[in-house]
Amino acid sequence: MTLQEYDYARESPSKLAASCLLLALTMKNLGGWTPTLEYYSGYSAQDLHPLVKRLNFLLTYQPRDKLNAVRNKYSHRVFFEVAKVTPMDMLKLEETLTSS
């Protein structure tokens, strides 16, 4: 989704990928940012928090008329129906990020 959003073009691909991973881990309650992830990514969890919040905001307030083909593709069970995952509540995300 970030490929069509100009605001994300300035972010480094590695930071964007790390932030997406942290958001996914948080959304699915699979644990936080471990020392191993920090070591291999080069980013601390605190470095990623602002971008994670922006990504969740993008998921929450995405226009429904754009990217229908992409949404339909990733709503299929072959792709684990990731387009159907409900974004996190912004306050709960903030609480989860600051507590870790």
User: What whole-number distance in Å separates Cα of residue 61 and Cα of residue 63?
Assistant: 6
pLDDT tens column, 29-63: 998 899 999 999 999 999 999 999 999 998 888 76
pLDDT value at residue 74? 86
**Angle between helices 45-60 and 13-27 in degrees, nearest 10:** 70
67 vs 43, higher pLDDT: 43
3 vs 51, higher pLDDT: 51
Half-sphere exposure of 41 (CA within 13 A, CB side): 23
Average pLDDT for residues 73-78, to the nearest whole number? 90
Q: Which residue type sits at 31?
A: G
Average pLDDT for residues 8-36, to the nearest whole number? 94
From the list 81, 11, 3, the residue with the least C-alpha distance to 52 is 11
58 vs 18, higher pLDDT: 18
Where along the chain do its domains lie? 13-99
